[in-house]
Chains A and B, each alone.
Chain A
Amino acid sequence: MSEEITIDANYRSPAPVRAGDEPGSLTRVFQQLVFTVDHKKLGLMYIGAGLLFFVIAGLLATLMRIQLAFPNNHFLPPDVFNQSFTMHGTTMVFLVGMPLAFGFANYLVPLMIGARDMAFPRLNAFGFWVFFFSGLFLYFSYVGAPGLYAAGSAPDVGWFAYSPLTIKAFSRGHSTDYWTLSLLLGGIGSVATALNILVTVFCMRCPGMTLGRLPIFVWCMVVLAFLVILALPCLSACQIMISLDRYLGAKFFDTQAGGDAVLWQHFFWIFGHPEVYILIMPAFAITSEVIPVFSRKPIFGYPIMVAAVVAIAFISLGVWAHHMFCVGMVSLANAFFVTSTLLVSVPTGIKIFNWLATMYGGKLRFELPLIFCIGFLFQFLIAGLTGVMLAVAPFTWQLSDSYFVVAHFHYVLIGGLLFTIFAGFYYWYPKAFGKMPDHKLGLWHFWLFTIGFHLTFLPQHFLGFLGMPRRIYTYQDDRGWDTMNLISTIGVAFQAAGILFFVYNLIYSYIWGKKSGDDPWDAWTLEWATTSPPPEYNFAKFPIVKSRRPLWDAKHPEDPDWKHE
């Protein structure tokens, strides 16, 4: 393939090398990172920064699990515990989940639609740097937010910062302001990147890449971008309101002056629930690419898969108050939000069945990406079932704010999202670096992480049934919670070991991995049509697409897809 790449007239050769500026030198690498507008570099930077914050937030979670391992433990003081769960949640949602999604979208969307870059490359760099500095800003609170009690104070109001915890009287110092301003900043970056993705997909497709032929990955990213465009500004509005309350004495959420604390909950969850679907969208995207390639079959029911994603996104805009069944809404509101939430399970079920139908009768190749996706299918099913349970208002009245809820959304975000993110890492690693990830190390990663994940979060369902509330920093020893808390903490060690294998694999394969060639998985989407790693201009000649599997057509001219579609 590579020898057919011809340099076209628009391609400019790199500038001549100046002294002290040779490739590989530290200044050169630094310059390349800071000045780049290349979607592939920015994508990898998004993913790298997301991994960095993932490790930090994972360490915070580890600290909390150590604290909860035994009753009456005094490993962490209560105020540090409050800061830890706030920072853990905020980081995982805004500095891990979304950047990883944007990273994969940035790297893959232009390649998959046969474009040379995003529609607005400089806006793309802007989005990344705004996100990155919003993350640094949030963590600067540990050293730079002189609170009332200590020199450093991180935000401690929970990741959804319920009012009136955030008003000046209850949150002295500046810790809440760090949270507020960081999310306001990050929101701007997210909207910029989402806008860029949307415009790229609609305005930059190569000839023949009609909307009906887009890879489902790209469709999922379009839906993700739409949700970001609609949801993130609501969060920005919330942050503006908190800032006005705290600095200019506005009364939005000041209950003594007629403000309404429940209004905050509505405003936050109008953003917050679509956000959940923003986070799970990469899981749908990656699974829909990996399962067909490793089952050697085209995706089952392409149009209905796309319709299901769109339907999930649409319904997700009208389910926010299922987070608020316990605040005492009128029965009609409860009924509406129960119904709309239950409705989500229909398109989600369609997706699960279609993935299974894609695998059914396929010639399965148990490579690492498929293994992680199979893990995803099982775990996401459990997450969905507990989700259906929590959608029923009386059930939530019993278990709201308990560890059952914690278990539910960690099954979604780890068992669902993170497993597919790992699948995506192993699937596209050869494309980004030209080396194969090591299979054996990957298996260690899979089994350690899967065992650790279930050890940690399966018992938390039962802890919830036994009445253990979330966000408590310790508990008495007569509650019957100690064994399962200990098991839960032991699971963390397995997860951490799995992550170590994962990170080691990334480095090991980069240095010692086998050369992968351009298309090691015998895949069908356009990113595999160029070299690994792709040149800066992606494609010397724009490909021309005639079906949903352009590379199948190219490899099998005797029986191309477009004859059947």
Chain B
Amino acid sequence: MNYATTENPADWKLPSARKLGILTLILAESALFTIFVVAYLFYMGKSLNGPYPHEVLEFPLLGSLALFSSSGTIFMAERCLHAGNKPGFSLWWGITAALGIYFLYFTGAEWHHLIFEKNLTLATNTFGTTFYSLVGLHAFHVIVGVLLLLGILISALRGRLHSDHTEHVEAISYYWHFVDCIWIVVLTVVYILSVRVPQ
């Protein structure tokens, strides 16, 4: 079979499979989150019994600050990697993981407070159901993100991170930014909007 051609195959450029893969995964995850966000919005102000959001929820300032700034630190880490600055990469990447872990600690402390002092569990009312499932789903994604961050950090510290791993690193940073963006939505819906809705 003769594929005589004037087009030069060397000019043929295609998008990176890893990047498109992680973006597609993010699209699927967004659909998953959408349903839980809609469930939260739907049941807002409809709980038959307390405790209600405005009674128990406090604005998670420190946790949110940690998570939002981690988007900046992961960006710095990537810049170091592109510049070939490996110690800088490990430093910024480590800070990112630490901020993620702090966010998880913060969420854990918040849940402990809600469960043991405010008597709000998943089974208490529809607020408890939708709150724990939405925030818990996000926290689960943070856990996955932190594990990925630590995996890269370990291989970086052992000197096994090379220039052909930049796409892996980029894919994880896309995922981390996504987890951050979801937190903006959760923060707005749960901690800003629902505490203002009358019961």
Q: Which of B7, B17, B35 contacts A234 (CB 8 A)?
A: B35
B157 at the interface (CB under 8 A from A): no
When distances are taken between beta carbons in the complex, the residues of chain A under 8 Å from B46 are 258
Q: Which of A191, A203, A251, A529 contacts B20 (CB 8 A)?
A: A203
Q: Are B31 and A248 in contact (CB under 8 A)?
A: no
CB nearest to B4 among chain A residues: A557
Mask for B1-12, Cβ within 8 A of A = 1, else 0?
111110101001
Q: Which of B2, B15, B34, B125 contacts A203 (CB 8 A)?
A: B15
A19 at the interface (CB under 8 A from B): no
**Min CB gap B12→A, angstroms:** 4
Q: Are A232 and B28 in contact (CB under 8 A)?
A: yes
Q: Are A259 and B126 in contact (CB under 8 A)?
A: yes
Q: Are A195 and B24 in contact (CB under 8 A)?
A: yes
Q: Are B29 and A233 in contact (CB under 8 A)?
A: yes
Mask for A170-205, Cβ within 8 A of B = 1, else 0?
000000000000000000000100110011001111
CB nearest to A5 among chain B residues: B1
Additional A-B contact list (7), CB under 8 Å, known A195-B28, A202-B14: A1-B1, A120-B17, A203-B16, A236-B32, A249-B123, A252-B126, A546-B7
Q: Which of A203, A207, A251 contacts B17 (CB 8 A)?
A: A203
Q: Which of A87-95, A237-245, A362-370 contacts B (4 or more CB under 8 A)?
A: A237-245
B185 at the interface (CB under 8 A from A): no
Mask for A256-284, Cβ within 8 A of B = 1, else 0?
01111001000100100000000000000
**Min CB gap B6→A, angstroms:** 8
A152 at the interface (CB under 8 A from B): no
Mask for A314-348, Cβ within 8 A of B = 1, else 0?
00000000000000000000000000000000000
Name 21 A/B residue pairs within 8 A (Cβ), A-sorted: A119-B17, A195-B21, A199-B21, A204-B17, A208-B5, A230-B27, A233-B29, A252-B126, A252-B129, A257-B48, A257-B126, A258-B46, A258-B47, A258-B126, A260-B42, A529-B1, A543-B1, A544-B7, A546-B7, A557-B2, A557-B4
Q: Are A191 and B28 in contact (CB under 8 A)?
A: yes
Q: Which of B109-123 contact A (CB under 8 A)?
A: 122-123
A565 at the interface (CB under 8 A from B): no
Q: Are B125 and A258 in contact (CB under 8 A)?
A: yes
B69 at the interface (CB under 8 A from A): no
Q: Are B24 and A198 in contact (CB under 8 A)?
A: yes
When distances are taken between beta carbons in the complex, the residues of chain B under 8 Å from A545 are 3
Q: Are B2 and A258 in contact (CB under 8 A)?
A: no
Q: Which of A198, A208, A231, A237 contacts B7 (CB 8 A)?
A: A208
When distances are taken between beta carbons in the complex, the residues of chain B under 8 Å from A251 are 123, 125-126, 128-129
Q: Which of A194-223 contact B (CB under 8 A)?
A: 194-195, 198-199, 202-205, 207-208
Q: Considering the chains assembled together, what is the distance between the CA atoms of A260 and B122 in angstroms?
A: 16
B107 at the interface (CB under 8 A from A): no
Q: Considering the chains assembled together, what is the distance between the CA atoms of A241 and B34 in angstroms?
A: 13
User: Beyond A195-B24, A258-B46, is A203–B12 a contact (Cβ under 8 Å)?
Assistant: no
Q: Considering the chains assembled together, what is the distance between the CA atoms of A238 and B39 in angstroms?
A: 10
A554 at the interface (CB under 8 A from B): yes
A352 at the interface (CB under 8 A from B): no
When distances are taken between beta carbons in the complex, the residues of chain B under 8 Å from A238 are 35
Q: Are A208 and B12 in contact (CB under 8 A)?
A: yes
Instruction: Write the residues of chain B forming the contact surface with A, with a CB cutoff of 8 angstroms.
Output: 1-5, 7, 9, 12, 14-17, 20-21, 24-25, 27-29, 31-32, 34-36, 38-39, 42-43, 46-48, 122-123, 125-126, 128-130, 133, 137
A542 at the interface (CB under 8 A from B): yes
A250 at the interface (CB under 8 A from B): yes
When distances are taken between beta carbons in the complex, the residues of chain A under 8 Å from B39 are 241, 252, 263, 267
Q: Are B5 and A248 in contact (CB under 8 A)?
A: no
**Min CB gap B196→A, angstroms:** 20
**Min CB gap A302→B, angstroms:** 20
Q: Considering the chains assembled together, what is the distance between the CA atoms of A340 and B113 in angstroms?
A: 47
**Min CB gap B35→A, angstroms:** 4
Q: Which of B15, B47, B133 contacts A250 (CB 8 A)?
A: B133
When distances are taken between beta carbons in the complex, the residues of chain A under 8 Å from B32 are 233-234, 236-237
CB nearest to A203 among chain B residues: B17
Q: Considering the chains assembled together, what is the distance between the CA atoms of A191 and B16 in angstroms?
A: 19
Q: Are B20 and A199 in contact (CB under 8 A)?
A: yes
Q: Considering the chains assembled together, what is the distance between the CA atoms of A429 and B36 in angstroms?
A: 44
Q: Are B35 and A205 in contact (CB under 8 A)?
A: no
Q: Which of A119, A204, A233, A263 contacts B28 (CB 8 A)?
A: A233
Q: Considering the chains assembled together, what is the distance between the CA atoms of A270 and B125 in angstroms?
A: 25
* Chain B interface helix/strand/loop/mixed: helix
CB nearest to A529 among chain B residues: B1
| Shortest 6 CB-CB contacts between residues of A and residues of B | A249-B123, A237-B35, A233-B32, A207-B9, A233-B31, A207-B12
Q: Considering the chains assembled together, what is the distance between the CA atoms of A238 and B42 in angstroms?
A: 15
Q: Are B35 and A202 in contact (CB under 8 A)?
A: no
When distances are taken between beta carbons in the complex, the residues of chain A under 8 Å from B21 are 119-120, 195, 199
Q: Are A195 and B123 in contact (CB under 8 A)?
A: no
Q: Considering the chains assembled together, what is the distance between the CA atoms of A191 and B31 in angstroms?
A: 12
A66 at the interface (CB under 8 A from B): no
When distances are taken between beta carbons in the complex, the residues of chain A under 8 Å from B125 are 251, 257-258
Q: Considering the chains assembled together, what is the distance between the CA atoms of A230 and B130 in angstroms?
A: 21
Q: Considering the chains assembled together, what is the distance between the CA atoms of A248 and B132 in angstroms?
A: 11
A4 at the interface (CB under 8 A from B): yes
User: Beyond A195-B24, A233-B31, A233-B32, is A258–B48 a contact (Cβ under 8 Å)?
Assistant: yes
A350 at the interface (CB under 8 A from B): no
Q: Are B1 and A554 in contact (CB under 8 A)?
A: yes
Q: Are A207 and B7 in contact (CB under 8 A)?
A: yes
A229 at the interface (CB under 8 A from B): yes
When distances are taken between beta carbons in the complex, the residues of chain A under 8 Å from B3 are 543-545, 550, 554
User: Beyond A229-B24, A258-B46, is A546–B35 a contact (Cβ under 8 Å)?
Assistant: no
Q: Are A202 and B20 in contact (CB under 8 A)?
A: yes
When distances are taken between beta carbons in the complex, the residues of chain B under 8 Å from A546 are 5, 7
**Min CB gap B118→A, angstroms:** 17
Q: Are B28 and A229 in contact (CB under 8 A)?
A: yes
**Min CB gap B13→A, angstroms:** 10
Q: Considering the chains assembled together, what is the distance between the CA atoms of A142 and B104 in angstroms?
A: 41
**Min CB gap B161→A, angstroms:** 22
When distances are taken between beta carbons in the complex, the residues of chain B under 8 Å from A240 are 133, 137
Q: Considering the chains assembled together, what is the distance between the CA atoms of A543 and B12 in angstroms?
A: 12
When distances are taken between beta carbons in the complex, the residues of chain B under 8 Å from A229 are 24, 27-28, 31
Q: Considering the chains assembled together, what is the distance between the CA atoms of A267 and B7 in angstroms?
A: 49
Q: Considering the chains assembled together, what is the distance between the CA atoms of A468 and B126 in angstroms?
A: 38
**Min CB gap B15→A, angstroms:** 5
CB nearest to B32 among chain A residues: A233
User: Beyond A251-B129, A257-B126, A260-B42, is A199–B24 a contact (Cβ under 8 Å)?
Assistant: yes
When distances are taken between beta carbons in the complex, the residues of chain A under 8 Å from B7 are 207-208, 544, 546
Q: Considering the chains assembled together, what is the distance between the CA atoms of A494 and B49 in angstroms?
A: 59
When distances are taken between beta carbons in the complex, the residues of chain B under 8 Å from A234 are 31-32, 34-35
CB nearest to B24 among chain A residues: A195
**Min CB gap A532→B, angstroms:** 14
Q: Are A231 and B31 in contact (CB under 8 A)?
A: yes
